[in-house]
Amino acid sequence: MSDMTEVSGSVDSVIFQSSDSGYCVCDIEADNGELITAVGIMPYLTAGDRVKVYGNYVTHSVYGRQLKVEKYEKLIPKGKDEMLKYLSSGAIKGIGPKIAEKIVEQYGDESFNVISDHPEWLAQIRGISRKKAFEMSEDFKEKAGVREILDFCKDTIPVATVMRIYKKWGRNALNMIRENPYRLCSDFYGISFKRADEMAKTIGVEPESYERIKCAIQYSLSIFSSRDGHTYVKADKLCSAAASLIGVDENKVKETLSSMNGADGICFVNGDNEVKVYKKTSYDAEKYIARKLLVLENKAISAGVENVYSLVETIEAECGIQYAKMQRKAIEASLLYGVSVITGGPGTGKTTVIKALIRIFEKIGLRYALCAPTGRASKRMSEATSSDAKTIHRLLEMTSSQDGKDEAVFMRNENNLLREDVIIVDEASMIDVPLMDSFLRAIKPGARLILIGDVNQLPSVGEGNVLKDVINSECFCVTFLNEIFRQSENSGIVVNAHLINNGKYPDLKEKSDDFFFVSKDEDDIPSYIVELCARRIPKKFSKTVFDGIQIITPSKKGVCGTVNLNSFFQKTLNPPSPEKSEITTPSGRIFRTGGKIMQIRNDYDIEWERYGEDGTGIFNGEIGVIEEADSDEGILVNFDEKKVRYEMSMLEELEHGSAIPVHQSQGRA
């Protein structure tokens, strides 16, 4: 911190403070007598607090010179005078100047110990009831707990992240870290194993201890799951990754792994000359998915072949349409089997099949539900079919967990089954194993499940490759739609997508309204894309990069990676302006009004509001636009009319979204 300014002094006044994020604006009277304004994450500060802050001076356009605090220490008041000043400040609920004076007068240098450990003694003071004494003690210990964990983590974890830890774990946070510091990287997004490992070293965890190696194995397995989407990893590969992570001999890791089978959330499955290592939750989910799909397949009552043919002919007559051979087969299979899969590339008539099925189910009186894994996919499904479609999460009536865990809780489950007789799922390639597990648990035996999607799309962002695995199992009826219909024949995107799926090179010479190829030197690409987004595409299609254009690129790094492109776009398409507010995150990113952003992790607890309706949950890959940016309040983001407020401590969940990676584009762009 040699390049930062260090200031020690007393808090003169607190101008603004957020109890949730810990963001604070205060005046500090430095030891040299200078009065400075400090801004940053400084939780639970009150007038009279002794602090040491580290940061850099900046000039605010309205408020002038400020010290932007990157790190701070809250110093414990010592001696009667400092204790009196602290207690008189109103820092502790129920203690004002008069009560503070009485406490310090009676207990002197032991005042803090009495408040913390012997609150019943406070009741001996006139004006303090026993109930009030214990309330004072609880509030004092709450603030002391924050101070302790801040001090303990000051060299390894940013203050904003420490606030998240304390908010989730409460006063027990410090004990939980000491018991197992590696829980930090498993329970909190944004805390790396390396950082948790540094914390472990400070409390004396030995480099080759069982606990350290075990946690390295668990972390490596979770990375293979979250980053690469695997539900299992070969044992040799896992041991190699864990050994490399912590610099321990691989044989030592293998010994530890062999003792973990069936325990510590891990299980083994023996394959052909290899051992597969699963997270126990993933293994159990895959087994349940397989069993429940077979139950649905066998329990559904067939509509009967003759009835099916008659129904399809009736719908054709009513709609004045004649279905193609494979479309007809897909419709018939959905009525004959409990589980059916309809797959095909763009322009092959999947939506037409969905519309036909809706008419048939309405005609024969079956209750049905339309759903998709993401908000945008369900919205497109609604628009294409003129019927109500929901996200799977909404269909399952998702709510946030009440026990502090960062996971979804679905009100629809084995004990509260969905009432629908038919569930039609679009964009099924995006469903991961955990969601499919929860989804199937809520479907009643005897209901039909129809999975629709393009098996040639990338698999889900989460773990597993559900749609492809269901198809490859050969246990269920699968219909492949491969005919491009007339309305899509002139689409360059459709034509070239099918060429690629058939193993052929796309036609880059033929230009169409929706597809063309331009060859440029790498260094020229960012400025060319800006030209397209700022002028040419808006002129032709009346769309902008903020409401209808999405840039997709294979990598995060490099000239054409998401990091560089987003920075370039922000400077050129959404530059600083007096009319636009902005904030800078602790990591140095600028979020500005009008900017496009993307959620990069599932957050089941975050609250949103849309047209007066409240809900929870924003998911990995959802894209929105910043409507407000304020250093006190954080940012307000609009996700397809879902308004979400992000506090400063939550901004690590977001990335700039003008350019996004290929894998996060499916169904979301």
**Cα–Cα distance for residue pair 375/624, rounded to 1 Å:** 12
Predicted pLDDT of residue 59: 86
Angstrom CA distances, 67 to 10, 16, 28, 291, 634, stand at: 15, 15, 10, 60, 19
Instruction: For residue range 490-516, list pLDDT tens digits in order.
Output: 788 888 888 888 888 888 888 787 888
**Cα–Cα distance for residue pair 530/526, rounded to 1 Å:** 6
Q: Encoding tokens for residue 155?
A: 């060299």
| Among 149, 191, 154, CA closest to 171 | 149
Angstrom CA distances, 621 to 94, 410, 603, 639, 669, stand at: 46, 21, 11, 11, 9
Strands 274-279 and 232-234: antiparallel
**Cα–Cα distance for residue pair 202/64, rounded to 1 Å:** 40
Predicted pLDDT of residue 78: 75
Predicted pLDDT of residue 376: 80
114, HSE (Cβ side, Cα atoms, 13 Å): 19
| Among 515, 433, 446, CA closest to 229 | 433
Identity of the amino acid at 620: N
**DSSP for 511-556, written as a single string:** --SS-------GGGHHHHHHHIIIIIHHHHH---TTTT--EEES-S
**Cα–Cα distance for residue pair 58/39, rounded to 1 Å:** 10
Which residues are registered as beta bridge partners of 596? 625
Q: How far is CA 530 from the centre of its chain?
A: 29
Instruction: For residue range 42-70, list pLDDT tens digits in order.
Output: 887 877 788 899 999 988 777 889 998 88
- Grouping H, G, I as helix, E, B as strand and the rest as coil, residue 51 is strand
Pick out the chain residues at pLDDT < 70.
1-2, 20, 303, 305, 400-407, 486-489, 586-587, 631-632, 666-669
Count other C-beta atoms under 10 Å from residue 207's C-beta.
Answer: 12
**Cα–Cα distance for residue pair 205/30, rounded to 1 Å:** 39
What b/e string do you get for 351-387 counting C-beta neighbours within 10 Å, with b at 16 or more? ebbbbbbbebbeeeebebbbbbbbbbbbebbeeebeb
